[in-house]
Amino acid sequence: MKLTPEEWRVKLSHEEHRVLRESGTERPHTSELNLEWRNGTYHCKGCDMRLFDSASKFNAGCGWPSFDREVPDANISRIVDQTHGMIRIEVRCSKCDSHLGHVFPDGPTETGTRYCINGVCLTFRHEP
């Protein structure tokens, strides 16, 4: 999905644009999706690609929605991020290249993975 910078500014709110297109971070504990526990799927706010399902979500206590695995067809991109004096792995949507958050090797499930995702980057679809 290729949009011009101006098209992205029109499509997204100021905060969504800051996080998705400028690799910002939302404040912890501000996303309503952090407290979402119904069955459903989480999609990229930029392009609507399905990224995570509710079965992979867990409470990491970090203040952002956390998942232990992506859906098989998401193919989330991983990029070494050396900003802020740290070395982390940034995750981006493989379809629209929007920043989502970071992935860490400290998850509590059998995957050992914790995707720490900005809630502002996601839309949730409830599936009863």
CATH of the domain at 82: 2.170.150.20
Query: Is residue 1 scored above 90 in pLDDT?
Result: no
Pick the closest to residue 46 from 118, 119, 96, 117 (CA basis).
Answer: 96
Which listed residue (44, 93, 96, 116) is catalytic? 116
Catalytic residue list contains 62: no
DSSP 27: P
Query: Is residue 119 scored above 80 in pLDDT?
Result: yes
Dihedral of CA 71/79/17/29: which sign? positive
**H-helix or E-strand spanning residue 90:** strand 88-92
- pTM, two decimals, is 0.95
Of the pLDDT bands very low, low, confident and very high (cuts 50, 70, 90), residue 4 is very high
Mean pLDDT of all residues belonging to the chain: 96
Name the domain count of the chain. 1
What pLDDT score does 54 carry? 98
Beta carbons within 10 angstroms of residue 56's beta carbon = 19
Domain interval for residue 21: 5-126
Instruction: Measure CA of the first residue to CA of the last residue in the chain; give whole Å.
Output: 30
SS3 125: strand
